[in-house]
């Protein structure tokens, strides 16, 4: 056996032991209302600062046949119709904190809870778990992400055929993408960025940050950070009409950053 194979076997053993430890302690200490898998995804949400966005885990095996793929669409559609902030990070934050504590206890990734959670989730599920987030409700650049992720997980042909059967889900994806496309077209027209590549738009955004740097900075505040905060706040205000349209499509209360919990 080569050193590489030995190292891999040792690493796989660590993951198994870590998973067994986390599962055992979570089952003993949790109230049973939130599954460990959901709590682990809650860790990802906390660390990626999108804890308020509804999501769902989909395993490869769930869509192994046509009937299963239709059920996957049902799961994702239900997520898209779930109000913002109705996630366990807000309804059951104690479950996420417990899972994170257990991931950090004897961490196998030098104290990175999100990485430990990834290994534990994969080992526990026993196959690839893909998390679908409904980020397009707030940000137009994610309008095709669910569709593209489905294609990646289950293949373009199978998804296209299944969407013909599940017209409700197909229309939701199509209408959401159209709202985002129209919004981006208006934004590009207003900013004079029609035809500009994404990276060029990002560079332009950084260039405009100088317009937001305050003449007098707050005590102890980095003026660049203040500029970024002001820039993001203005962009969020500008996107309110976009969010209203997306939330109306989903039939859920409009949320522009207000935490109801």
pLDDT given for residue 233 in this prediction: 72
pLDDT given for residue 195 in this prediction: 76
- Look up tokens 């002001």; give the residue: 230
Q: Which domain holds residue 41?
A: 3-250
**199, two tokens:** 């990276």
Q: Is the residue at 69 inside a domain?
A: yes
Length of the chain equals 261
Q: How far apart (Å, rounded) are the C-alpha atoms in residues 238 and 15?
A: 45
Q: Is the residue at 260 inside a domain?
A: no
Q: Which residues of the chain register pLDDT less than 50?
A: 261
pLDDT given for residue 261 in this prediction: 45
Q: Is the residue at 256 inside a domain?
A: no
Q: Are 99 and 25 in contact (CB under 8 A)?
A: no
Q: Is the residue at 233 inside a domain?
A: yes
Q: How far apart (Å, rounded) are the C-alpha atoms in residues 46 and 39?
A: 11
Q: Is 237 exposed, middle or buried (0-12, 13-18, 19+ CB in 10 A)?
A: exposed
pLDDT given for residue 167 in this prediction: 98
Q: Which of 7, 14, 35, 28 is nearest to 123 (CA)?
A: 14
pTM given for the model: 0.86
Count of domains for the chain: 1
DSSP 8-state symbol, 176: H
């Amino acid at each position: 056996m080569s050193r590489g194979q030995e190292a891999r076997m040792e690493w796989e053993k660590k993951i198994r032991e870590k998973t067994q430890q986390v599962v055992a302690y979570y089952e003993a200490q949790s109230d049973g209302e939130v599954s460990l898998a959901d709590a682990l995804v809650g860790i990802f949400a906390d660390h990626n600062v999108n804890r308020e966005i509804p999501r769902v885990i989909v395993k490869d095996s769930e869509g192994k046949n046509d009937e299963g793929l239709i059920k996957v669409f049902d799961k994702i559609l239900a997520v898209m119709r779930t109000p913002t902030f109705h996630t366990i990070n807000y309804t059951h934050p104690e479950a996420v904190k417990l899972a994170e504590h257990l991931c950090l206890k004897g961490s196998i990734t030098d104290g990175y809870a999100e990485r430990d959670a990834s290994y534990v989730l994969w080992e526990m599920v026993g196959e690839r778990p893909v998390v679908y987030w409904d980020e397009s409700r707030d940000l137009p650049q994610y309008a095709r992400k669910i569709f593209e992720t489905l294609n990646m997980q289950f293949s373009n042909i199978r998804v296209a055929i299944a969407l013909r059967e599940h017209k409700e889900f197909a229309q939701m994806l199509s209408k959401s993408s159209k709202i985002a496309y129209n919004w981006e077209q208006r934004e590009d027209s207003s900013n004079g960025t029609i035809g500009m590549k994404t990276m060029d738009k990002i560079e332009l955004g950084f260039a405009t940050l100088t317009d937001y740097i305050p003449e007098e900075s707050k005590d102890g505040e980095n003026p660049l950070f203040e500029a970024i905060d002001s820039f993001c706040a203005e962009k969020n205000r500008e996107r309110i009409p976009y969010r209203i349209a997306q939330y109306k499509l989903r039939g859920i209360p409009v949320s522009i950053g207000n935490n109801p919990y």
